[in-house]
Structure 1
């Protein structure tokens, strides 16, 4: 938008300069042409006086000498004819046979004065043709025609046009850089600030606000945006408080209810029923706890710090190794990423727990690596996977695949992972793996290791943990 405003402003300023320059150049060219016409008209009048005596005496020798000297000084052509349109003296190339000269001769013999010539422009051609009758009183003895070149006028107009163009460009540059660019910047700066604030707000930074600067309309718009951001922040906080309060209030009754249920059941059948109720109570308690965790995501501004994802992945997988028949970890060396405290543990706990529940007995692979400016943490199982239509829904709150409706869980684990990763500036991708199974990839911003950082892999890197 800044470029469009600058282009529009420069175009308008350029049009204004052209509108001012064209009349100046036109007036100058007309004045110079008129000066040439008046000056040469005086010369024609003088030659008419000289030609009068020559035509009466029938001797044009003296007149030829004057014409030659004039042509040497001023250039052009001069033709003197008698009343019968016969040339009696001339200098230069023009002749009475030229249509324009013949027309001027006819006007002169008829006693009609010469009309001012058209404006001499640098791109125009032709010369100024001026005629005057030769005679005494009412008797016309002949005509004098002067063909004057316009090169001097054209050169003068060209020089004037060149200087005006240079001056106009200088004025245009000074106007653009001294007035238009600062003005457009003053107008666009609040727009860019508002755009940046809107992007931060959309990215989850509820504390983002726009500066109320610039024109009054933009200040009003920034104020309205800030009011909207305040309302969004209050609404988000109220939602978090509602979920947190509800989870907290449900926690105590669930605990009390479980304790009371444990004391019920005298017979084996009753104890079996009680055990089923206890399992559902435990599941409800887990859901309440997950909702409480989820409500806290985004509640505070987090500051990612450099974290060795490879080292944390190796350590966490050692804790999970007894759960799996085969858990292979490919996390060589040191791989630094911008992460929040405990994020890698939360991610692996959720993903490995899902792999254990939904792909029991299948091999699981954990991979850590750096790709360009990002760090990849991928967990891939070799289980049955999901239906293609369900892949896009993975990570939605309470979503369970159609084949896993009876598997224990809350359906909130991956939703919590997505939210925590997004807070850290990363992203999560879910897809079906080649050869079967599900692959969940977590991408975090990469941090380059310093000169003292080690990139040597431990002896057991890339080997199965169990």
Structure 2
């Protein structure tokens, strides 16, 4: 936009200068020609009174002393002054007795007839072409330099004005991009023209409104999650009243897991924007969750093959989010494959840092649109894979749905490594 404004001003300035300087240049040329012809006429008029009243010898002396080459053609046929031939203009002037100016290759030919006692004399001179345009080129160069200086001055002024206009718009653009990156504390400084200041004020109000809406949404999610604690407490009490100690311990452990998930939801919902991203040891989280699901796999006659590293694998994702993503994927395996279907969990380092988590099974595979949020082919909510996808993308990675090598479905989550951040 800055370049376009500058080019617009430059084009406008050039058009104005052309409309002004071209006629001025032509006028200068015409004035120079008229001045040269006027001077020549003045010279001729100084000798007109002496033509016909002085003898030829005295007239020749006067003509030789003039600053211009002047020729006098008496009726006798001799030429006084500068040698010249009788041109058609001289003969015409001698015939009709009228003065006029004729353009020729040599310049401008001026003839003045004078009536004498013995006939008509013709006084003739030629103004050379270089005299007709003397100083014109220099004047044109001065005009061209003046025009160029005005164009450059216009460009400087236009660039200055464009910069003052573009700077607030660039600031608005930067703030908009920051808001798009979830930096909700970004605010624009109202400056520039009134329209731009109005847009900046509206953008700041929009950012504040977004913050208020997100704050209300987080509180509502936290309140809703907190309401689940009451039925969880009742479930734990019911589990403790079971006579079978093994069954009671398993139900209590499940209730504790649900309570931990509810607590994680509350903490995540009330997490402040802009805080330093949490990290987790993928090895520890995956090992813990696989152990939890292995118990259920034994009850449903499922064989679990695991490939887990012994060294820590730090990833840029909170432990609760990683556990929720893995639970969502494993929950899909148990919900959408028949009992006895084998599954495998693999966690390996990722090239460039991070980890790659792979969950595969020998089931029927994925239905169409499995990654579409809210879409499910078996009556579920359709949010499981979307939760895993958003967790992977939040960690700088991605989720891929593939076919397992031996048939069935395979989910691969790529998790980015933890970035080194400056001290807070």
State whether TM-score is above 0.5.
yes
SS in 2 for 1:196: helix
1:253 aligns with 2:230: yes
1:124-203 matches, within 5 Å, as 128-136=107-115, 141=120, 143-152=122-131, 154=133, 156-177=135-156, 179-203=157-181
How far apart in 1 are the matches of 2:85 and 2:262?
Answer: 110
Aligned residues: 395
Give CA deviations for 1:22-79 in whole Å, capped at 9, x if unaligned: 455344333322211211223444576787689x96x9x959x968x98xx86xx877
1:413 aligns with 2:395: no
1:37-116 matches, within 5 Å, as 37-45=37-45, 96=87, 102=88, 106=92, 109-114=95-100
Check 1:81–1:233 CA distance in 2 against 1; reply closer, same or farther (3 A cut). Answer: farther
1:242 aligns with 2:220: yes
1:279-318 matches, within 5 Å, as 291-296=265-270, 299-303=272-276, 312-313=281-282
The structural deviation recorded for 1:212 is 1.3
How far apart in 2 are the matches of 1:18 and 1:414?
Answer: 68
- Indicate conservation of the 8 Å contact 1:44/1:132, yes or no: no
How far apart in 1 are the matches of 2:274 and 2:192?
Answer: 29
The structural deviation recorded for 1:255 is 1.9
Check 1:112–1:357 CA distance in 2 against 1; reply closer, same or farther (3 A cut). Answer: farther
SS in 2 for 1:231: helix
Gaps of 5+ in 1: 97-101, 118-124, 267-271, 450-466
1:336-347 matches, within 5 Å, as 339=316, 343=317, 345-346=319-320
How far apart in 2 are the matches of 1:420 and 1:87?
Answer: 111
How far apart in 2 are the matches of 1:240 and 1:331?
Answer: 36
1:364-379 matches, within 5 Å, as 364-370=346-352, 377-379=355-357
SS in 1 for 2:344: coil
Give CA deviations for 1:216-254 in whole Å, capped at 9, x if unaligned: 332222222222222222122111112212221x22332
- Indicate conservation of the 8 Å contact 2:219/2:270, yes or no: no
Give CA deviations for 1:159-199 in whole Å, capped at 9, x if unaligned: 2222333333334434433x333322222211111111122
Gaps of 5+ in 2: 295-303, 334-341
The structural deviation recorded for 1:210 is 0.7
The structural deviation recorded for 1:115 is 6.4
Deviates more, 1:142-151 or 1:278-287: 278-287
Check 1:327–1:244 CA distance in 2 against 1; reply closer, same or farther (3 A cut). Answer: same
SS in 2 for 1:222: helix
Give CA deviations for 1:378-428 in whole Å, capped at 9, x if unaligned: 43444465345334x2xx4xx46536x56998666326626744xxxx464
Give CA deviations for 1:274-329 in whole Å, capped at 9, x if unaligned: 9xx999989986875565355335x3212359x8x9xx445655656766514266
The structural deviation recorded for 1:107 is 6.5
How far apart in 2 are the matches of 1:328 and 1:155?
Answer: 97
- Indicate conservation of the 8 Å contact 1:254/1:285, yes or no: no
1:437 aligns with 2:410: yes
Check 1:116–1:407 CA distance in 2 against 1; reply closer, same or farther (3 A cut). Answer: same
SS in 2 for 1:208: coil
How far apart in 2 are the matches of 1:153 and 1:131?
Answer: 13
- Indicate conservation of the 8 Å contact 1:364/1:379, yes or no: yes
Check 1:246–1:313 CA distance in 2 against 1; reply closer, same or farther (3 A cut). Answer: closer
Coordinate RMSD, CA, aligned? 5.3
SS in 2 for 1:36: helix
SS in 1 for 2:350: strand
Check 1:304–1:108 CA distance in 2 against 1; reply closer, same or farther (3 A cut). Answer: farther
Check 1:416–1:110 CA distance in 2 against 1; reply closer, same or farther (3 A cut). Answer: same
How far apart in 2 are the matches of 1:317 and 1:280?
Answer: 18
2:189 matched residue in structure 1: 211
1:36 matched residue in structure 2: 36
Check 1:419–1:367 CA distance in 2 against 1; reply closer, same or farther (3 A cut). Answer: closer
- Indicate conservation of the 8 Å contact 1:368/1:377, yes or no: yes
How far apart in 2 are the matches of 1:108 and 1:292?
Answer: 118
